[in-house]
Every structure is written in C-alpha cells, then in structure tokens.
Amino acid sequence: MGMLDDVKVLDFCTNAAGPVASAEMADYGAQVIKIESMDGGPERTYVPILEGKSLTHAWVNRGKKSVTLNLKDPRGVEIVKKLAKNADVLIESNRPGVMDRLGLGYKDLKEINPKLIYCSLTAFGQTGPYAQNPGFDMMGQALSGMMSITGEKGGKPLKHGIALADYFGGFNAFAAVMTALHYQRRTGKGQYIDVSLIQGMIHLNSTIDRLNDGVLCQPNGNHHSGLCPFGCFNTDRGESVIICAPSAKAWETVAAAMDRPDFLTDPEYNTINARVKNMDRIIGEIEAWLSSFPSLKEACERMTQYHMPYCMVNNDQQVVEDPQVKHMGYIVQAPTADDIKQPTYQTRGCNALFSEAPGEIRKAATLGQHNHEVLEELGYGPEEIDQMMEEFRQKLKK
C-alpha cells in the first residue's frame, strides 16, 4: 500500500518541473491523471531516446495515467471539471491566466470542489513584471544570482550542469502540495499555491545572506569563498578529489595526514579566517602533497587512515558503480512504457528510503493510454470516447 494511495491528482504540466512534482506523488502511490494535448507534451521528445521514445518522458511522467483532451473544446473542459470534483490536487505549469481563460482556474474549480489543492508552477510567479514572460530553467538560475557566483575565479557566469531550477522547482512544488495536503486533511480546506523557479533558486542561493556582511560574492571556482580547505583539489596528473575541512577538528586531520603540525600553530593557518585569507597558498600546498603520491589511490588511503573528510569526483558511470550508491540501491532498473520492447531502463530510485511504505518507480504511460479507463468511470461509453477523441484530433488540425 502506498502512503498516498488515497490521493487523486490532476496533472496539467509539461517539460520537467511540474511533471517532476506529480511524479514524486505517483512514486508513493498517488493516482495521477496526466491531462495531455492530443499530440503530447514536449518532454515526450527529449533525450535520451530509446527505440525512438524519450526516457526523459519515462522518468518525469512515471507512474501516471495519460488522458488526451482538447481543452479548446467545451467537452474537454467538462471532462476536467468532472475529474476535479473528486480530485485532491491539481498541478499546472501554464503561463499565468491560461487556465482562467479555459474556465479551469482555481476560482472556477474551487466552486466545484472546495477541498481542491491547486498548485501553479511557473518560472516567475503569477504576478509582477515578468509573470507573462516565457521562462526556462536557465533563467531561474540567472535571475536568482546563482550563475553570478558559479564559475572559475575571475571568470564569467556559468550555469549548473543539470536543469537545477526545474528539478528543484519540482521538489519545491511537491513539498508545498504535501504541506497543503496535511492542512486539507485536518481542516477540509483546499487552497491555491503559487510556486516559481526563481523563488526556488533564490531559496537555494545562500550567498545572498553575505550582503549582510557587505560582501557581494563572485565566482570562486571549485573552492568555497568563505571556508578553507573546502573544494576540489587536483594532482599534477589531472586526478581530482574533494576535501572539506571547515572545522578545527577536521583541520586537525589534515594537519596529521600531511604531517604538518605547524598548520595548528602558525597564525596564517590555525584559524578559518586566516586560511581563507591564505587560500591560494593552502590549495597549492595540498595539491603538491597529493601529487607527491604515486597515484591518487595512495593519497586516498592516507586520508582514510587519518579520517580526513574527502571523496572522489565521480563521473556518471562511476556514480552507478560507487559502493555507497550500490549499497543504498538508489540506481534501479525501472519498467519502460508499453511501446518500448526493452523491458527496463537504468535510472534513479525514489527520493527517500522509507522503512514502512517505500515508494516505487513505475512505468510511464503511452499517449492517451488511459482514455477509456478514466472516461468510462465518468460515464462515457466506449464508442462515444472514440468518436470524441477523433473529433478532438480533427479540431486540433483546423
């Protein structure tokens, strides 16, 4: 039994952020009905591709039922209203005002179902000077200040290597909906939730707090601007390792491993402020020490012996093979959709490990796979559904 198996969700999201939120709900048992356009959302075309089908779609739409509707047709709107009557959650990622114009905004559906939790996920929020602008992940990273502090020291702004704003935005919406769901269960009241990518990125950007010190942070490469040693260190052979020693106790392990007792007495090394001031020198000394070993393996053995806080810099393949990741069982073989012959694909597991009711990564749906199942439960006949779908398609072409 899934922890959310009594929760019904309507998903009107495309791309990544919104679908990630509802997919998290599906992992823990929620019944998620994804309302798609007649030709499907753009995420059905995103790489990686297996047998001509998107594995991004398989991931962000896992565990959901797919129903295709033309919402410019009054019958499509009527179907949504019937589904909303018994839904707990609706999540949508359209530009502000789109759902209102369709007659499916929060005020419209609240009249039908006062318990409905209605979550809108956009790049910039529902109101304000940017609200109607098209928005994407990279814009959230840029406007939040995140890109201004990312990059080589003295270099130009750099985006994160993944769609950070999208994926965190999805988790942010998931957390907001779960909070509202708890309130709904206690009070019987639904509510409207406005979640934006820029808000999520600003929440992550802790360097904004440095403005209280009068400090405007700049890119500092692979090293923390206010802690030392705290970053990525390289050998002269191009090998890399992370070393993080922000506390006095951790710094003692560095001094012991490197056989440098002066690190604990020299005023240019023995406080965090002094080490930050002399960061370039300390980085050079640590990298020279790492390079003195025949290979990084021997250096790591030494660091392990002295309990230094360090780890390797894994590439994607090394993540899959990492002993800790294997122990956690976090990389799984998930089922593919019914239109792919290969039965499984390698992907990430559920976001947390629960002892009583673990989640499950389930298969994504083919486009419109559940039209009959869902609409027949609303009282539509099989032939009526087929005819309506054909008319929806024809109307879309006009």
Q: How far is CA 303 from the centre of its chain?
A: 33
Query: What pLDDT score does 60 carry?
Result: 97
- What pLDDT shows up at residue 99? 98
| DSSP H or E segment with residue 361 | none
Q: Where are the alpha helices (DSSP H) in the chain?
A: 17-27, 55-60, 74-84, 98-101, 106-112, 137-143, 164-187, 197-204, 248-257, 272-277, 279-291, 296-305, 316-321, 323-328, 371-377, 382-397
Token pair belonging to 333:
């073989």
Q: Which candidate, 166, 216, 198, places its Cα nearest to that of 43?
A: 166
Fold match between domain 8-137+162-204+326-397 and domain 230-313: no
194 as an active site residue: the answer is no
Q: Express as a percent the part of the chain with pLDDT over 90.
A: 98
Helix/strand/coil for 241: strand
CATH of region 230-313 = 3.30.1540.10
Closest to 116 (Cα-Cα) out of 101, 103, 105, 124: 105
Contact at 8 Å (CB) between 348 and 331? yes
pLDDT at 398 > cutoff 80: no
Can you say whether the dihedral through the CA atoms of 309, 315, 318, 320 is positive or negative?
A: positive
CATH topology of domain 8-137+162-204+326-397: Rossmann fold (3.40.50)
Q: Contact at 8 Å (CB) between 51 and 74?
A: no
pTM of the predicted structure, to 2 decimals: 0.93
Residue boundaries of the structural domains of the chain: 8-137+162-204+326-397, 230-313
Q: Which of 11, 27, 88, 166 is catalytic?
A: 166
pLDDT of 356 over the 80 cut: yes
Give the mean model confidence (pLDDT) for residues 330-334. Answer: 96
Supply φ then ψ for residue 331, to 5 degrees: -90, 125
